[in-house]
Structure 1
Protein backbone atom coordinates (compact mmCIF):
# COMPACT_ATOMS: atom_id res chain seq x y z
CA UNK A 1 0.00 0.00 0.00
CA UNK A 2 1.30 3.44 -0.96
CA UNK A 3 1.47 6.17 1.68
CA UNK A 4 -0.90 9.11 1.22
CA UNK A 5 0.78 12.38 0.20
CA UNK A 6 1.18 14.84 3.04
CA UNK A 7 1.63 17.97 0.94
CA UNK A 8 4.73 19.92 0.09
CA UNK A 9 7.73 20.03 2.40
CA UNK A 10 8.38 23.52 3.78
CA UNK A 11 11.03 25.38 5.73
CA UNK A 12 10.71 28.96 6.99
CA UNK A 13 12.56 31.34 9.25
CA UNK A 14 12.89 35.04 9.93
CA UNK A 15 15.93 37.30 10.03
CA UNK A 16 16.72 40.74 11.36
CA UNK A 17 17.63 43.12 8.53
CA UNK A 18 21.34 43.14 9.36
CA UNK A 19 24.46 42.55 7.29
CA UNK A 20 24.47 38.93 8.49
CA UNK A 21 20.95 38.14 7.20
CA UNK A 22 21.92 37.11 3.65
CA UNK A 23 24.65 34.74 4.87
CA UNK A 24 22.36 33.16 7.47
CA UNK A 25 19.58 32.73 4.89
CA UNK A 26 22.03 31.19 2.37
CA UNK A 27 23.22 28.71 5.00
CA UNK A 28 19.70 27.75 6.07
CA UNK A 29 18.37 27.34 2.52
CA UNK A 30 21.39 25.21 1.55
CA UNK A 31 20.90 22.98 4.58
CA UNK A 32 17.21 22.60 3.77
CA UNK A 33 17.83 21.66 0.13
CA UNK A 34 20.60 19.21 1.03
CA UNK A 35 18.31 17.58 3.60
CA UNK A 36 15.75 17.08 0.84
CA UNK A 37 18.41 15.60 -1.47
CA UNK A 38 18.30 18.58 -3.85
CA UNK A 39 22.03 19.34 -3.76
CA UNK A 40 22.02 20.38 -7.44
CA UNK A 41 19.87 23.41 -6.56
CA UNK A 42 22.01 24.71 -3.70
CA UNK A 43 24.30 27.09 -5.59
CA UNK A 44 21.52 28.78 -7.55
CA UNK A 45 19.22 28.91 -4.52
CA UNK A 46 21.94 30.56 -2.44
CA UNK A 47 22.44 33.30 -5.03
CA UNK A 48 18.69 33.87 -5.27
CA UNK A 49 18.01 34.03 -1.55
CA UNK A 50 21.06 36.22 -1.01
CA UNK A 51 19.89 38.73 -3.61
CA UNK A 52 16.31 38.83 -2.34
CA UNK A 53 17.26 39.11 1.34
CA UNK A 54 19.87 41.77 0.55
CA UNK A 55 17.24 43.79 -1.32
CA UNK A 56 14.85 43.57 1.62
CA UNK A 57 17.56 44.59 4.10
CA UNK A 58 18.91 47.48 2.00
CA UNK A 59 15.81 48.92 0.39
CA UNK A 60 13.11 48.61 3.05
CA UNK A 61 12.54 49.67 6.64
CA UNK A 62 11.28 46.21 7.62
CA UNK A 63 12.02 44.90 11.09
CA UNK A 64 11.91 41.26 10.00
CA UNK A 65 12.69 39.47 6.75
CA UNK A 66 10.86 36.20 6.24
CA UNK A 67 12.32 33.40 4.12
CA UNK A 68 10.56 30.20 3.16
CA UNK A 69 11.43 27.30 0.89
CA UNK A 70 8.72 24.94 -0.29
CA UNK A 71 9.34 21.72 -2.17
CA UNK A 72 6.67 20.81 -4.69
CA UNK A 73 6.75 17.71 -6.94
CA UNK A 74 8.21 19.62 -9.90
CA UNK A 75 9.79 22.74 -8.40
CA UNK A 76 11.14 24.49 -5.33
CA UNK A 77 9.78 27.92 -4.43
CA UNK A 78 11.80 30.43 -2.44
CA UNK A 79 9.81 33.30 -0.91
CA UNK A 80 11.19 36.39 0.83
CA UNK A 81 8.76 38.67 2.66
CA UNK A 82 9.10 42.11 4.21
CA UNK A 83 6.80 44.92 5.35
CA UNK A 84 7.43 47.28 2.43
CA UNK A 85 4.65 47.43 -0.15
CA UNK A 86 6.99 48.65 -2.90
CA UNK A 87 7.44 45.94 -5.52
CA UNK A 88 10.93 45.34 -6.87
CA UNK A 89 11.88 46.37 -10.38
CA UNK A 90 15.03 45.18 -12.12
CA UNK A 91 17.61 47.94 -12.54
CA UNK A 92 19.40 48.60 -15.79
CA UNK A 93 23.04 48.44 -14.73
CA UNK A 94 25.85 49.85 -16.84
CA UNK A 95 28.70 47.51 -17.75
CA UNK A 96 30.99 49.07 -15.13
CA UNK A 97 28.40 49.29 -12.32
CA UNK A 98 29.21 47.43 -9.12
CA UNK A 99 25.55 46.94 -8.18
CA UNK A 100 22.12 46.71 -9.76
CA UNK A 101 22.19 43.23 -11.27
CA UNK A 102 20.55 41.26 -8.48
CA UNK A 103 17.12 40.80 -10.01
CA UNK A 104 18.71 40.11 -13.39
CA UNK A 105 20.57 37.22 -11.73
CA UNK A 106 17.35 35.99 -10.16
CA UNK A 107 15.67 36.10 -13.56
CA UNK A 108 18.53 34.18 -15.17
CA UNK A 109 18.70 31.45 -12.52
CA UNK A 110 14.98 30.72 -12.17
CA UNK A 111 12.26 29.22 -14.30
CA UNK A 112 10.06 32.10 -13.14
CA UNK A 113 9.89 34.71 -10.39
CA UNK A 114 7.66 37.56 -9.32
CA UNK A 115 6.29 39.61 -6.48
CA UNK A 116 2.98 40.18 -4.81
CA UNK A 117 1.79 43.06 -2.66
CA UNK A 118 -0.22 42.42 0.50
CA UNK A 119 -1.85 44.75 3.00
CA UNK A 120 1.05 44.13 5.40
CA UNK A 121 3.92 44.20 2.89
CA UNK A 122 5.08 42.07 -0.01
CA UNK A 123 6.59 38.80 -1.01
CA UNK A 124 9.12 38.19 -3.73
CA UNK A 125 9.23 34.60 -4.94
CA UNK A 126 11.40 32.55 -7.26
CA UNK A 127 11.10 29.00 -8.58
CA UNK A 128 13.73 26.42 -9.47
CA UNK A 129 12.89 23.09 -11.12
CA UNK A 130 13.17 20.21 -8.64
CA UNK A 131 15.90 17.80 -9.63
CA UNK A 132 18.04 20.09 -11.74
CA UNK A 133 19.47 23.57 -11.64
CA UNK A 134 18.80 26.16 -14.32
CA UNK A 135 21.97 27.46 -15.99
Structure 2
Protein backbone atom coordinates (compact mmCIF):
# COMPACT_ATOMS: atom_id res chain seq x y z
CA UNK A 1 0.00 0.00 0.00
CA UNK A 2 1.26 3.46 -0.87
CA UNK A 3 1.19 6.04 1.90
CA UNK A 4 0.52 9.59 0.76
CA UNK A 5 0.54 12.96 2.47
CA UNK A 6 -0.86 16.04 0.81
CA UNK A 7 -1.44 19.66 1.68
CA UNK A 8 -4.44 21.40 0.19
CA UNK A 9 -5.92 24.87 0.56
CA UNK A 10 -9.07 25.17 2.63
CA UNK A 11 -11.75 27.88 2.56
CA UNK A 12 -9.99 29.74 5.38
CA UNK A 13 -6.77 29.85 3.38
CA UNK A 14 -4.91 27.50 5.69
CA UNK A 15 -3.46 24.25 4.37
CA UNK A 16 -4.88 20.94 5.41
CA UNK A 17 -2.82 17.80 5.77
CA UNK A 18 -4.17 14.39 4.79
CA UNK A 19 -2.56 10.97 4.88
CA UNK A 20 -4.04 7.57 3.99
CA UNK A 21 -2.60 4.80 6.15
CA UNK A 22 -3.16 1.10 6.75
CA UNK A 23 -5.61 0.45 9.57
CA UNK A 24 -2.95 -0.97 11.89
CA UNK A 25 -1.52 0.06 15.25
CA UNK A 26 1.78 0.94 13.53
CA UNK A 27 0.02 3.77 11.68
CA UNK A 28 -0.37 5.75 14.91
CA UNK A 29 3.26 6.86 14.68
CA UNK A 30 2.80 8.20 11.15
CA UNK A 31 -0.42 9.93 12.23
CA UNK A 32 1.42 11.61 15.12
CA UNK A 33 4.10 12.77 12.69
CA UNK A 34 1.45 14.29 10.41
CA UNK A 35 -0.10 16.18 13.34
CA UNK A 36 3.29 17.47 14.48
CA UNK A 37 4.16 18.55 10.91
CA UNK A 38 0.89 20.47 10.53
CA UNK A 39 1.16 22.17 13.91
CA UNK A 40 4.79 23.04 13.25
CA UNK A 41 3.84 24.66 9.94
CA UNK A 42 0.96 26.63 11.45
CA UNK A 43 2.67 27.78 14.63
CA UNK A 44 0.62 26.33 17.54
CA UNK A 45 3.44 23.91 18.38
CA UNK A 46 2.39 24.01 22.05
CA UNK A 47 -0.51 21.76 20.99
CA UNK A 48 1.79 19.08 19.49
CA UNK A 49 1.76 16.68 22.44
CA UNK A 50 -1.99 16.99 22.95
CA UNK A 51 -2.64 16.62 19.22
CA UNK A 52 -0.38 13.57 19.04
CA UNK A 53 -2.26 11.91 21.91
CA UNK A 54 -5.66 12.72 20.36
CA UNK A 55 -4.73 11.27 16.95
CA UNK A 56 -3.24 8.19 18.61
CA UNK A 57 -6.53 7.53 20.38
CA UNK A 58 -8.55 8.12 17.19
CA UNK A 59 -6.34 5.71 15.22
CA UNK A 60 -6.52 3.17 18.04
CA UNK A 61 -10.30 3.40 18.03
CA UNK A 62 -10.41 2.63 14.30
CA UNK A 63 -7.92 -0.22 14.61
CA UNK A 64 -9.75 -1.79 17.55
CA UNK A 65 -13.35 -1.36 16.44
CA UNK A 66 -13.40 -1.57 12.63
CA UNK A 67 -12.58 -4.09 9.98
CA UNK A 68 -11.22 -1.71 7.40
CA UNK A 69 -8.12 -1.86 5.24
CA UNK A 70 -7.14 1.80 5.50
CA UNK A 71 -7.86 4.99 7.40
CA UNK A 72 -7.58 8.62 6.36
CA UNK A 73 -6.01 11.03 8.86
CA UNK A 74 -6.75 14.71 8.31
CA UNK A 75 -5.42 17.73 10.18
CA UNK A 76 -7.10 20.98 9.26
CA UNK A 77 -7.38 24.48 10.60
CA UNK A 78 -10.94 25.69 10.13
CA UNK A 79 -10.12 29.04 11.75
CA UNK A 80 -7.26 30.90 13.38
CA UNK A 81 -8.20 29.52 16.80
CA UNK A 82 -9.07 25.89 16.02
CA UNK A 83 -7.24 22.83 14.77
CA UNK A 84 -9.28 19.78 13.73
CA UNK A 85 -7.83 16.28 13.83
CA UNK A 86 -9.88 13.54 12.20
CA UNK A 87 -9.61 9.85 11.33
CA UNK A 88 -12.02 8.40 8.76
CA UNK A 89 -12.70 4.69 8.32
CA UNK A 90 -15.44 2.69 6.63
CA UNK A 91 -17.24 1.67 9.82
CA UNK A 92 -20.96 2.32 10.01
CA UNK A 93 -20.85 2.09 13.83
CA UNK A 94 -20.83 5.35 15.78
CA UNK A 95 -18.09 5.62 18.43
CA UNK A 96 -19.62 5.86 21.91
CA UNK A 97 -18.06 7.43 24.99
CA UNK A 98 -18.05 4.96 27.87
CA UNK A 99 -19.28 6.44 31.11
CA UNK A 100 -17.46 3.91 33.27
CA UNK A 101 -14.58 1.49 32.95
CA UNK A 102 -13.26 -0.91 35.53
CA UNK A 103 -10.01 -0.11 37.30
CA UNK A 104 -8.34 -3.17 35.80
CA UNK A 105 -9.64 -2.84 32.22
CA UNK A 106 -6.92 -2.10 29.69
CA UNK A 107 -9.18 -0.48 27.08
CA UNK A 108 -12.20 1.79 26.90
CA UNK A 109 -10.72 5.14 27.94
CA UNK A 110 -9.72 6.55 24.53
CA UNK A 111 -12.79 8.66 23.86
CA UNK A 112 -12.78 9.88 27.47
CA UNK A 113 -9.20 11.07 26.97
CA UNK A 114 -10.20 12.82 23.73
CA UNK A 115 -13.20 14.39 25.47
CA UNK A 116 -10.98 15.72 28.28
CA UNK A 117 -8.32 17.15 25.96
CA UNK A 118 -10.44 18.79 23.26
CA UNK A 119 -12.97 21.55 22.93
CA UNK A 120 -15.35 19.08 21.28
CA UNK A 121 -15.31 15.79 19.43
CA UNK A 122 -17.79 13.86 17.36
CA UNK A 123 -18.52 11.71 14.34
CA UNK A 124 -19.31 12.86 10.82
CA UNK A 125 -21.42 10.52 8.72
CA UNK A 126 -19.61 10.04 5.42
CA UNK A 127 -20.45 7.99 2.35
CA UNK A 128 -19.13 4.50 3.03
CA UNK A 129 -18.33 5.06 6.71
CA UNK A 130 -17.68 7.48 9.54
CA UNK A 131 -15.07 10.06 10.37
CA UNK A 132 -14.30 10.78 14.00
CA UNK A 133 -12.71 14.09 14.78
CA UNK A 134 -11.78 16.47 17.53
CA UNK A 135 -11.35 20.23 17.65
Q: Normalising TM by the smaller chain, what interval?
A: 0.7 to 0.9
Relative to the length of structure 1, the TM-score reads 0.85
| Structure 1 residue 69 displacement after superposition | 0.7
Relative to the length of structure 2, the TM-score reads 0.85
- C-alpha distance in 2, partners of 1:66/1:93? 28
1:49 aligns with 2:21: no
- C-alpha distance in 1, partners of 2:12/2:27? 31
- Aligned residue number for residue 40 of structure 2: 34
- C-alpha distance in 2, partners of 1:84/1:59? 8
State the structure with more CA Rg: 1
- Aligned residue number for residue 120 of structure 2: 112
Give the 3-state SS of the residue equivalent to 1:58 in structure 2: helix
Normalized per residue, the structure richer in strand is 2
Structure 1, residues 3-60: CA drift from partner, whole Å, max 9, x if none?
Answer: xx86232111111012211111011211221121111110110111000011111210
User: In terms of mean alpha carbon deviation, does 43-52 or 8-17 score higher?
Assistant: 8-17
Which of residues 7, 16, 23 is equivalent to 2:29? 23
- C-alpha distance in 1, partners of 2:13/2:37? 20
- C-alpha distance in 1, partners of 2:65/2:107? 13
Where do 1:123-134 residues align within 5 Å?
123-127=131-135
- Aligned residue number for residue 90 of structure 1: 97
- C-alpha distance in 2, partners of 1:32/1:6? 15
- Aligned residue number for residue 67 of structure 2: 61
Gaps of 5+ in 2: 1-10
- C-alpha distance in 1, partners of 2:102/2:108? 9
Runs of 4+ in 1 over 3 A off after TM superposition: none
- C-alpha distance in 2, partners of 1:12/1:122? 16
Aligned residues: 123
